[in-house]
Amino acid sequence: MAATSRHLVDLVLGVAPAAGNASTGEIGLRTVELLEAAYLSAAERRVVSIDELYRGAETRA
């Protein structure tokens, strides 16, 4: 766990190895969606689906 956290810090600071972050943007997007649903679920004390995050998004944009 400590190594994973250290890698993240190094990546953010720009001192990651030459290979850098090999993850795709898709992985980043899915990670953010999962975290957002988890935080909302905890705050509202209910199950929140990923699809629910996008309901009504067109009217908010």
Residue-wise pLDDT tens digits, 30-59: 999 999 999 999 999 999 999 999 997 655
Residue 48 burial class via C-beta count within 10 angstroms: exposed 0-12, middle 13-18, buried 19 and up: middle
Q: What is the pLDDT of residue 58?
A: 59
Q: Does the pLDDT value for residue 61 go beyond 60?
A: no
DSSP, residue by residue, the chain: -HHHHHHHHHHHHT-S-TT-----HHHHHHHHHHHHHHHHHHHHTS---HHHHHTTHHHH-
How confident is the model over 6-22, as pLDDT tens digits?
Answer: 877 887 888 877 666 67
Q: What is the pTM of this model?
A: 0.62
Both tokens of residue 7?
Answer: 């890698």
